[in-house]
Chains A and B, each alone.
Chain A
Amino acid sequence: MQKRFGRFSLDAAMSEGGFVCLAGKNGSGKTTFLRIVAGLTKPDGGHVKVNGSDITRLPIEKRGVVLVTPGSSIPGMEVDEHILLGARLKRAEVSEERVATVKRELGIDFQGRVAKLSLGMCERVSLATALLAAPAGILVDEAFSNLHDREGFIASYRRLAADAGIHVVFSTQDESDGRLAEHLYTLDDGRATKRF
């Protein structure tokens, strides 16, 4: 895909699925890349395909891809209402067992209004919501960054996403986070390189 903003140009390709780490410094184009995949930014060229379907021109709500950022949680909702939002929107049933597993694995042992939660708790709630919505892909833009047991959390998230057949791409500034993923791509000044 290609995107140009003034002097900055993004020209990046990513072909691997599964649990993917996208590493790069500030301004390297990580957020732009993820926003193009999520349908929030229009690309100047190229295609976005998920599980073989071209979603480049589909509206955000029909792409089957959800972007999670540190500010994604919906402040006016209760935690339990929030984590089932995606399932409710799709009118899909989620077993109590699955909900309990996701909450336990992601450390959601708190209740109440999301507005009253800490940033880390909000990230957990948003990430759990995305998982329980069972989309084709989840794009995590720096939303693993405020968690106290970060590595354990990412490992649990990877396992839960794999169980549900969901692709995950998470962005980070730390290239060593690649060890937590199946594949590592690095972005440098708008150019993507596959490391493994």
Chain B
Amino acid sequence: MNWLRVIALSFLFLLLVPILVLLYFGLGPLRTPVGYGPEVFRSVALSLVSSAVAATVDVVAFTPLAYYLARNRNRVTESLVDIPVSIPHPIIGVALLVVSSPITPTGAFLISIGINLFNSIAGLVIALVVVSAPIYVKSLQPYFESRDPSPEQFAMGLGASQLRTFFTVVLPDSSRSVISGALLAMSRGLSEFGSIAILAYYVLQSPFYGVNPASVLIYQYYSYFGLGAAVTTSVTLIVISVPLAMAVRFVRRG
């Protein structure tokens, strides 16, 4: 008997019990049509699109940070990266609301150049970037740390700057880890609730006018229609997001 396996898989099972119970009741006894109606699919579409855009922003803007942290150990910078994940997410929503409020200089500036974060797709994406970027950076940093630095040091000795080395030597064979990190960031974006419930409870822009992000819609259905609708809507979101989370593993393993 492999006791390590027994202990490990038992606790994994316990971790998954709430999801399995949810799937059973959502597909069976508590199934409610409103939970897989058109409004739910519009919501899921909004969450998928905004999470995908946020993950793309993470890749473009934060891959250099993950590499920088891997090659220049700096505890202060690493602690700063942890801040958005270590504070309650409603605080992020409130902070972004203040940043975009017309009563603050930042908000006045953003509005003057036509950027409104409140109940907008831009606000939704920015909130998702703030909460998913630290996860993305933390998932990619160990990969960069595990790479043999010799080729990078060689390129720098030949005259390449650290930035050039990053683009010439490191990025070309890092696509698998970057995609895996992006899928993880997208999963995190899909599951976000706290910040977007404050900043983008719904969006008021085409093609998602009046649509709530999926996590917000589940909360709203729970408040309006009760447990059955919330459970069925949750199952719809799980059926779509779990394959995404599993894809992270497959991409990483190749």
Q: Which residues does A use to contact B, with CB under 8 Å?
A: 38, 40, 60-63, 65-69, 71-77, 85-86, 89-90, 115, 126, 129-130, 133, 135
Residues of A close to B114: CB separation below 8 A:
none
Report the Cα distance A6→B99, complex, angstroms. 50
Contact A61-B173, Cβ < 8 Å, known A72-B154, A74-B151: no
Q: Per-residue CB proximity of B168-191 to A under 8 Å, as 1/0?
A: 110011000000000000000000
Q: Which residue of chain B is the closest to A66 with respect to CB atoms?
A: B157
* Pairwise interchain contact B159-A72, C-beta atoms closer than 8 A: no
* Pairwise interchain contact B161-A66, C-beta atoms closer than 8 A: no
- What is the CB-to-nearest-CB distance from B148 to chain A, in angstroms, rounded to a whole number? 5
- What is the CB-to-nearest-CB distance from B147 to chain A, in angstroms, rounded to a whole number? 10
* Pairwise interchain contact A76-B172, C-beta atoms closer than 8 A: yes
- What is the CB-to-nearest-CB distance from B161 to chain A, in angstroms, rounded to a whole number? 6
* Pairwise interchain contact B151-A66, C-beta atoms closer than 8 A: no
Q: Which residue of chain B is the closest to A73 with respect to CB atoms?
A: B151
Residues of B close to A90: CB separation below 8 A:
159
Contact A86-B159, Cβ < 8 Å, known A74-B169, A76-B172: yes
- What is the CB-to-nearest-CB distance from A87 to chain B, in angstroms, rounded to a whole number? 9
Report the Cα distance A16→B106, complex, angstroms. 61
Residues of A close to B158: CB separation below 8 A:
61, 66, 85-86, 89, 129-130, 133, 135
Residues of B close to A72: CB separation below 8 A:
150-151, 153-154
Contact A67-B164, Cβ < 8 Å, known A76-B172, A89-B159: no
Residues of A close to B168: CB separation below 8 A:
74, 85
* Pairwise interchain contact B160-A71, C-beta atoms closer than 8 A: no
Between A and B, 8 residue pairs with Cβ closer than 8 Å are: A66-B158, A76-B172, A85-B158, A85-B168, A89-B158, A90-B159, A130-B154, A135-B157
Residues of B close to A63: CB separation below 8 A:
157
Q: Is B156 an interface residue, CB under 8 A from the partner?
A: yes
* Pairwise interchain contact A61-B156, C-beta atoms closer than 8 A: yes
- What is the CB-to-nearest-CB distance from A11 to chain B, in angstroms, rounded to a whole number? 24
Report the Cα distance A74→B156, complex, angstroms. 12
* Pairwise interchain contact A67-B155, C-beta atoms closer than 8 A: no
* Pairwise interchain contact A61-B154, C-beta atoms closer than 8 A: no
* Pairwise interchain contact B153-A61, C-beta atoms closer than 8 A: no
The size of the chain B interface, using a CB distance under 8 A, is 18
Report the Cα distance A115→B168, complex, angstroms. 15
Report the Cα distance A115→B156, complex, angstroms. 20
* Pairwise interchain contact A69-B157, C-beta atoms closer than 8 A: no
Residues of A close to B151: CB separation below 8 A:
71-75
Q: A71-B150, A73-B151, A73-B154 are in contact. List 4 more A-B contacts (CB 8 A).
A: A66-B154, A71-B151, A72-B151, A85-B168
Residues of A close to B161: CB separation below 8 A:
61
* Pairwise interchain contact B154-A60, C-beta atoms closer than 8 A: no
- What is the CB-to-nearest-CB distance from B150 to chain A, in angstroms, rounded to a whole number? 4
Residues of B close to A135: CB separation below 8 A:
157-158
Report the Cα distance A85→B169, complex, angstroms. 11
Report the Cα distance A36→B170, complex, angstroms. 24
* Pairwise interchain contact B150-A133, C-beta atoms closer than 8 A: no
Residues of B close to A73: CB separation below 8 A:
151, 154
Residue among B157, B162, B173 making CB contact with A67, cutoff 8 Å: B157
Residue among B155, B159, B173 making CB contact with A75, cutoff 8 Å: B173
Residues of A close to B154: CB separation below 8 A:
66-69, 72-74, 126, 129-130
Q: Which residue of chain A is the closest to B171 with respect to CB atoms?
A: A76
* Pairwise interchain contact B157-A60, C-beta atoms closer than 8 A: yes
Report the Cα distance A129→B156, complex, angstroms. 13
* Pairwise interchain contact A61-B159, C-beta atoms closer than 8 A: yes
Residues of A close to B156: CB separation below 8 A:
60-61
* Pairwise interchain contact B164-A89, C-beta atoms closer than 8 A: yes
Q: Which has the most chain A C-beta neighbours within 10 Å: B157, B158, B159, B164? A: B157
Report the Cα distance A26→B169, complex, angstroms. 30
Residues of A close to B155: CB separation below 8 A:
74, 85, 89
* Pairwise interchain contact A40-B160, C-beta atoms closer than 8 A: no
Q: Which residue of chain A is the closest to B160 with respect to CB atoms?
A: A89
Residues of B close to A75: CB separation below 8 A:
151, 173
Contact A76-B173, Cβ < 8 Å, known A71-B148, A71-B150, A71-B151: yes
Report the Cα distance A115→B169, complex, angstroms. 12
